[in-house]
Structure 1
């Protein structure tokens, strides 16, 4: 299906092998018709944006509204990607983006993670967070609101 990429992420937690099936829906409007299929039975919905492109954060509002039409119970997670590039931006720009992302996450009742797939920053923590929420497991990760570090806010 055009605009859809299926992936699998496997975690091993205390000897248990947990497989996540990820439906990655493209961020353009041509992917709109895939939203009902991708969201219908999801246990978590990851709303991802490029930390280096504020317009991608602004588009999260639209995708959130569309996804919630099809699934009101999935765990919402807001993820800022490409953190490794983001930390190279001037501090005032970082502060503006962090503030806006935290405001969006609060409005969405979502946990906020800043991540980098290239450097494996917070990637596994996101999936462990989903597991903790789904199975009511202890979550020991601390909030991190320090500018210049990968944000985790819940």
Structure 2
């Protein structure tokens, strides 16, 4: 799995620390940058179209672990599509963001999913479908049921959000955290060929080096 685990302990000295790369994918103006900014800064800003990629970090001190997010906000313009794969290489999670007031952006999110499915095995990445801009409910073109049904058929996490009104922004990132940690526990409990769980720290460090862009 493309899992990057950072050996060590948290501030309390007992919890493991994990570092995860999270990418935001979707069409231009669906609110990817605003979602990331709301989550990291708890504030709302309307951004100009991202050029290439923007980068955010967030650290969560949870009861069971310390989680460090590297959040990569990719450009939505078609002209940057050919280089976006460089930014989501070795990602551990992806948010496929669409605008609930634009059915076309959901179609684009589905294309991003097809691209991810070519690059990752199912257990290598956590993917969430995010219907953003619920504050534009009067202009809705994509129903909640439509987004939810597609997510279920593909085994994706799903939530609708609003970066502007701060609706369920923390919830979608927390859902990703919980799924990543669930997979960590599952991986740790799986028996090794020798009959017990092992952690290859040298492999983890090597992966950390190679995952840097």
Same fold (TM over 0.5): yes
CA distance 1:38–1:105, shift in 2 (3 Å): same
What is the match of residue 85 of structure 1? 136
Go from structure 1 to structure 2 and tell me whether the alpha carbon gap of 1:31 and 1:103 turns closer, same or farther (over 3 Å shift). farther
* Structure 1 runs of 4+ with >6 Å offset: none
Unaligned 5+ runs, structure 2: 1-49, 184-213
Partner of 2:126: 75
Structure 1 contact 8–22 (Cα < 8 Å) conserved: yes
- Work out which of the residue numbers 106, 116, 122 in structure 1 matches 2:162: 116
The answer to whether structure 1 residue 5 and structure 2 residue 54 are counterparts is yes
SS at match of 2:91: coil
Question: Paired residue for 2:115?
Answer: 66
Q: 1:136 corresponds to which residue?
A: 182
Per-residue deviation, residues 82-120 of structure 1 (Å, max 9, x unmatched): 11222x34xxx56x5223212321232101110111222
CA RMSD of aligned residues (A): 2.4
Given that 1:4 and 1:34 are in contact with CA atoms closer than 8 Å, whether structure 2 keeps it comes out as no
Instruction: Describe the shift of the 1:75–1:127 C-alpha distance in structure 2 as closer, same or farther (beyond 3 A).
Output: same
Q: Distance between the aligned counterparts of 2:64 and 2:158, measured in 1? A: 28
Question: Which sections of structure 1, spanning at least 5 residues, go unmatched?
Answer: 138-154
Partner residue of 1:25?
74
Native 8 Å contact 2:52 2:84 kept in 1: no
Q: Flag the structure with larger Rg.
A: 2
CA spacing shift, 1:118–1:10, aligned 2, 3 Å: farther
- Asked if 1:103 is matched to 2:152, the reply is no
